[in-house]
Structure 1
Amino acid sequence: MVKLLPNPCLRRLELTTRPRLGHVAIQVDDPEAAANFYADLFGFQIVGRSSTPITGNMVLLTSDRAEEDHVLQLIEKAVAEHVAFRVETLADLKYWHQEVKRKNIPVVMAANHGTQVGFFIKDSAGRFIEIYWPTGRRH
């Protein structure tokens, strides 16, 4: 007879919500032209524009602002490409911060964008991954 033991990983996940896909940042040569493409094809709304030394020019788009502040970041500089996962509470964000530390995954950077706070790690392929909590503030 095989006895199934409780899986401690599953128990930890029951204590918090699992992150869900929040947004993706992709490099494009011309963020404005790309934004027009996504707006025309999918009906996405342009919800913000900015420029920073890290991203270069950037355009933010959403498909449903009530659901997510933005789902797509179109950026000039590839170094800022990332996939972002959203958690529902600040307690969840703290939990996942501890979890990545427990697994010896280095936290590359913490970020406070005003509309969200979170941190960045790298996945096994070296891609940036953001885990964030939306603060409820709008642009």
Structure 2
Amino acid sequence: MMGFVVVLHEGLSNMAWMFFLAIGVWGVVRAIRGLPVDGSYLGAAAIGQGLFILQALIGVILWVNGRLSALARPEVHVLYGAFVVVFLPFIYFTALRGDDSNRGQWVLAFSNLFLFGVALRLINTGLLG
């Protein structure tokens, strides 16, 4: 059973970096075109946030079952995992404060590209030691 949970965690991690790369590039294209943030883009960002939350919950299941000790640097993996769960809501509620202008589109686009990079770093710290 835990083998399936590990495979699920690995598969979702690949989905996460690809998803955030896609919405980051989509956001930059929207920003270059002068478009504001719309419901479709916010919805995609919310789906990505949900993906990170699901990943974190699966990670907690693995941690409780002793699988975290197999990682080379488990504390760094947990730190990055906690960061990705809070980063996008932090940006939305503090930096943007409801700004749905073109500036907000730029901020969200680069925030999502940043999360793409953090997702890759998460995978790197999650590799077995």
Normalized against structure 2, the TM-score is what? 0.32
Bigger Rg, which one: 1
Normalized against structure 1, the TM-score is what? 0.30
Q: Which has the higher strand share?
A: 1
- Higher normalized contact order (CA 8 Å, seq sep 6+, divided by chain length): 2
